Amino acid sequence: MNVHKAPVTNDQLAMPERVPYHLAIIMDGNGRWAKARGLPRVMGHRAGVENLRPVLRASSEFGIQILTLYAFSTENWGRPEPEVHGIVNILETVIDREMVHLHANGVQLRLLGDTNRLTPELQRKVREAIDLTRNNDKLTLNIAFNYGGRAEIVWAMRRIVADGIPAEQIDETLISHYLYTAGQPDPDLIVRTGGDLRVSNFLIWQGAYAEYYSTPTFWPAFDRRELWDALQHYQGRERRFGLVTPP
């Protein structure tokens, strides 16, 4: 159950001593949040959009440099058409309504995923938003939309083959260079809202050594305190990357 909590300011929370440079969030539970309130599922997605700005603000204030949000997967096209249409419209609404605010606050926008299924008009808006914020450096915001980890790897392999790179030159560094996240470090922490314990085809290459944290709180209710709790758990993790702790 998601219990409403009073907003918490930084004055009430000790700043984390160690924060992830790159935080990724699987924004799950929008539909269940709406259902619990007797609302259509699309209203849950709209509530999730309203939660973007406060989470972005908190992430920046806590010192996170890259925030990746899983908004729409390649598998989500199989959902009921009205819901899919509503989510795609929400992406356009976010770009129309939030880009001026994001740009003014130094946020650089990147889109991870295949934009070919978006309308030409929405593709244009995405390109313009990315170009507008290209030189911003306070926070990088990756929106994973029409994204799937397996599809991303297939896409990268096809580009490597198309570029004529010999098989013996292919290594992990090269593959990372061909992924949507090229030029960015892998996520340090992946948070999943909504309580499920699965990766759902999200950053399956980049998240190989990420720390994972799951909260039962649905995404529309994931607030500053919830983010702080996730960062506190991250502080307590010992990241060994397959090695052992020195005696």
What's the number of domains the chain is made of? 1
Judge whether 146 counts as a catalytic residue.
Answer: no
Q: Categorise residue 198: left if φ over 0, alpha if ψ from -120 to 50, beta otherwise.
A: beta
Q: Is 28 a residue of the active site?
A: yes
Do the domain assignments include residue 223? yes
Taking only the tens place, the pLDDT of each residue in 104-152 is: 999 999 999 999 999 999 999 999 999 999 999 999 999 999 999 999 9
Q: What is the CATH number of the domain that holds 43?
A: 3.40.1180.10
**What would the mean pLDDT of 46-50 be, rounded to a whole number?**
93
Q: Is residue 220 part of a domain?
A: yes
Question: Across the beta sheet with 139-147, what order do the strands follow?
Answer: 107-112, 139-147, 66-73, 22-26, 189-192, 211-214
Residue 1 lies in a domain: no
Q: Which domain holds residue 125?
A: 16-149+186-235
Going through the chain in order, the beta strands assigned E by DSSP cover 22-26, 66-73, 107-112, 139-147, 189-192, 211-214
Asked if residue 247 belongs to a domain, the reply is no
Is residue 159 domain-resident? Answer: no
Cα gap 117→184, rounded to integer Å: 25
pLDDT tens figures, 188-241: 999 999 999 999 999 999 999 999 999 999 999 999 999 999 999 999 988 888
**List 2, 11, 28, 136, catalytic entry:** 28
Cα–Cα dist 126/120, whole Å: 10
From the list 10, 11, 51, 76, the catalytic residue is: 76
Residue 9 confidence (pLDDT): 54
* Residue 242 domain-assigned (yes or no): no
